[in-house]
C-alpha cells in the first residue's frame, strides 16, 4: 500500500502543464534546443518540456511573466531560473522576503518562494521570444487552472505587456471583466479589479530592458514593495 500523499489540485495542474503537447511549433522548437544545446550547457540535460509555475501554494502575490527562456527555464525547468532575467529578479525578491535565496540556477537548488507564486502566460520557449496569439490562447487554460488553485492571491504583478494583456484576456474569458478597455500597460501601473484583486505592472526584467537602463533594481523593487503592502504582508 503506497504511503505517497495524494496530489493536490495545484499538483495536478502542474502535471497537466508538463504533459501538454498542444502547440506543435513550440514543442518542436523546445525539443530541438534541448538536443542541440548551447555550448556553455553542452554537458547538461535540458528540461525541454512546458514549464509549470512554482512557489507558495498559499501565495498572496502572483507574479506573471511571458514565457520560458530558451536556455533559461527551458533548460532548468523552473521560471526565471538560469538566465539573466532571474539573475536580476531573484535578488530583489530575496531582499523583500519573497524568496529564500538571491540566486536561482536549477529547479533543485533549494529556492523557495514565500507568499508568492511565479507563472507565465506561455509555458514553452517561443522562437524570438514571440509566441503567436493562437499559442497564447492555447496556453490560457493552464493559467486559468493555476489561478483557480491559488485561492489566497490578493495581488497580481504582470512582468511586461504580453503578460499584462494575457492576464486581462483571462479575466475577460472568465467573465470578470467585460473587456480590456481602460487598462493601459506601464511600469508601476496599478488597477483594482472587480474581485478586489490588485493588478500591478512592471517592465519585464529581460536583459534588453535591464542592460539598457529601461528597468533598474530600484524601479523593480518599488513595484514589489507596493505588492507586499497591498497583499497585507
- Global pTM value: 0.94
Q: 124-153 burial, b if ≥16 CB within 10 A, otherwise e?
A: bbbeebebeeebbebbbbbbebbbebbeeb
How do the pLDDT tens digits run along the chain, 233 residues long?
A: 445 667 799 999 999 999 999 999 999 999 999 998 888 888 889 999 999 999 999 999 999 999 999 999 999 999 999 999 999 999 999 999 999 999 999 999 999 999 999 999 999 999 998 999 999 999 999 999 999 999 999 999 999 999 999 999 999 999 999 999 999 999 999 999 999 999 999 999 999 999 999 999 999 999 999 999 999 99
**pLDDT at 3 (0 to 100):** 57
Beta bridge partners of 111: none
CATH topology of domain 9-230: Uracil-DNA Glycosylase, subunit E (3.40.470)
Beta bridge partners of 46: none
3-state secondary structure the chain: CCCCCCCCHHHHHHHHHHCCCCCHHHHHHHHHHHHHCCHHHCCCCCCCCCCCCEECCCCCEEEEECCCCCCCHHHHCCCCCCCHHHHHHHHHHHHCCCECCCCCCCCCCCCCECCEEEEECCCCCCHHHCCCHHHHHHHHHHHHHHHHHCCCCCEEEEECHHHHHHHHHHHHHCCCCCCCCCCCCCCCCEEECCCCCEEEEECCCCHHHHCCCCCCHHHHHHHHHHHHHHCCC
Would strands 155-159 and 198-202 be described as parallel, antiparallel, or unpaired? parallel
Cα dihedral across residues 201, 206, 209, 213: positive or negative:
positive
Amino acid at each position: 500500500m503506497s504511503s505517497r500523499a495524494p496530489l493536490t489540485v495545484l499538483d495536478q495542474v502542474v502535471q497537466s502543464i508538463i504533459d501538454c503537447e498542444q502547440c506543435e511549433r513550440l514543442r518542436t522548437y523546445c525539443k530541438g534546443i534541448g538536443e542541440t544545446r548551447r555550448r556553455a550547457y553542452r554537458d547538461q540535460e535540458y528540461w525541454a518540456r512546458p514549464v509549470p509555475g512554482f512557489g507558495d501554494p498559499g501565495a498572496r502575490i502572483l507574479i506573471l511573466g511571458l514565457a520560458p527562456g530558451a536556455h533559461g527555464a527551458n533548460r532548468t525547468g523552473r521560471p526565471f531560473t538560469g538566465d539573466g532575467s532571474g539573475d536580476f529578479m531573484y535578488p530583489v525578491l530575496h531582499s523583500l522576503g519573497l524568496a529564500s535565496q538571491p540566486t536561482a540556477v536549477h529547479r533543485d537548488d533549494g529556492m523557495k518562494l514565500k507568499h508568492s507564486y511565479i507563472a507565465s502566460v506561455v509555458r514553452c520557449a517561443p522562437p524570438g521570444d514571440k509566441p503567436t496569439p493562437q499559442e497564447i490562447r492555447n496556453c490560457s487554460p493552464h493559467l486559468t487552472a493555476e489561478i483557480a488553485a491559488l485561492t489566497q492571491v490578493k495581488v497580481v504583478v504582470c512582468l511586461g505587456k504580453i503578460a499584462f494583456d494575457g492576464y486581462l484576456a483571462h479575466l475577460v474569458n472568465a467573465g470578470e471583466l467585460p473587456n480590456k478597455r481602460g487598462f493601459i500597460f506601464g511600469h508601476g501601473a496599478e488597477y483594482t479589479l472587480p474581485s478586489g484583486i490588485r493588478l500591478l505592472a512592471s517592465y519585464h526584467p529581460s536583459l534588453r530592458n535591464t542592460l539598457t537602463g529601461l528597468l533598474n533594481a530600484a524601479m523593480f523593487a518599488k513595484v514589489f514593495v507596493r505588492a507586499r503592502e497591498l497583499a497585507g504582508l
